[in-house]
Amino acid sequence: MATALTWCAGTVAAAGADLYRAKVTVTGQGEANRIFGFAVCLEDVLIKASGALKLSGDPRLAAYKSKAKSFVTGFSYRDQFSGKPIRDEQGTRDRPYDLTVEFEESKIDDILKTLGLKPWLSHRPRLAVFVEMEQGARNYIVTTDGTQSDLQRDALLAAADKRGMDIVLPGTAALAKSNITGAELRTAPFPALAPIAAEQGGEVVLVGRLVWNDRDLGWATQWQMDWGGQPHRWQVRGVTFDEAFRRGIGGAAQVLSGNGDPVTRSSAAGGNKLH
């Protein structure tokens, strides 16, 4: 394979206060929905700040989520329908808003300490992400410029932002020039992919394969990366591709932060939770 690929830089690596900020979609700006949003964002921030995806759905968080408001230092709304006509008699009842929540760093750190964890404040390696999608006869790799993977690209970047990671994605022309297809990706050894990623600033290679399963009405996903001289493999089944990407990038963060290997999940085990 050729040793040069054109990559798309993902979100800026999270640092400092960014690790203690999260965003969720809520309906309207009422207090009930805001309190619910605070609880969701608290779990996301605990995962983001520590790199420990294993906190997702952890029952120990219930007590903290019930008083999430007490950890909040500020919040703001962005109307997703800004500029569009109001659709209901209440004016804002059914309008979706992005609720961004800021948490007090010391209080989040204290919660993590109680849970036996600590904030991941050291350098977070940039992930070079190769993802193959297979649905029936359709098979393609998610790229920065391919129209068939627009939704998946946006979802990957959103997942990286949610988990406090920086990623790069390949360009279509570069993949073609290097003769990298889905089948090639499945057999390419990591030592062959690593220098390609490094050319564009990718420090760790993360490879994912998503296959649509009609029976599960979701994607069966396999993720793999090498780190610390060891292979790391995990799976998730029966989920949306958005959730599969969150599990893939979140799992990589868990390994890189020293919080252990990700656990294989299925939809029945909570793998399709919207976190």
Structure tokens at 41: 């964002």
Contact 269, 239 (CB under 8 A): no
Angle at 183 between CA 129 and CA 237, to 5 degrees: 60
Instruction: Concatenate the DSSP letters of all residues of 100-167 into one string.
Output: EEEE-HHHHHHHHHHTT-----S--PPEEEEEEEEETTEEEE--SS-GGGHHHHHHHHHHHHHTT--E
Residue 268: the pLDDT is: 47
Summarize pLDDT for 136-188 with one digit per residue, the tens. 999 999 998 888 899 999 999 999 999 999 999 987 877 777 777 887 788 87
> How far is residue 172's CA from residue 254's CA, in Å, rounded to a whole number?
29
Residue 95 is predicted with a pLDDT of: 85
Give the list of residues 6+ apart from residue 86 with CB closer than 8 angstroms, or none: 92, 95
Average pLDDT of the residues of the chain: 87
- Burial (Cβ within 10 Å: 0-12, 13-18, ≥19) of residue 196: buried
Q: pLDDT grade, residue 100 (50/70/90)?
A: very high
Model's pTM, two decimal places?
0.86
Residue 9's pLDDT band, with cuts at 50, 70 and 90, is very low
pLDDT tens string 184-201: 788 877 777 777 677 778
- Quick check: 211 pLDDT over 90? yes
Give the integer Cα–Cα distance in Å for 170 and 205: 12
Per-residue pLDDT of 59-97, as tens digits, reads 999 999 999 999 999 999 999 887 666 655 545 557 899
Q: Can you list the alpha helix ranges (DSSP code H) found in 231-270?
A: 241-256
Question: Do 212 and 132 form a contact (C-beta atoms < 8 A)?
Answer: no
Q: How far apart are CA 163 and CA 29, in angstroms?
A: 25
pLDDT value of residue 70: 98
* Amino acid 158: pLDDT: 96
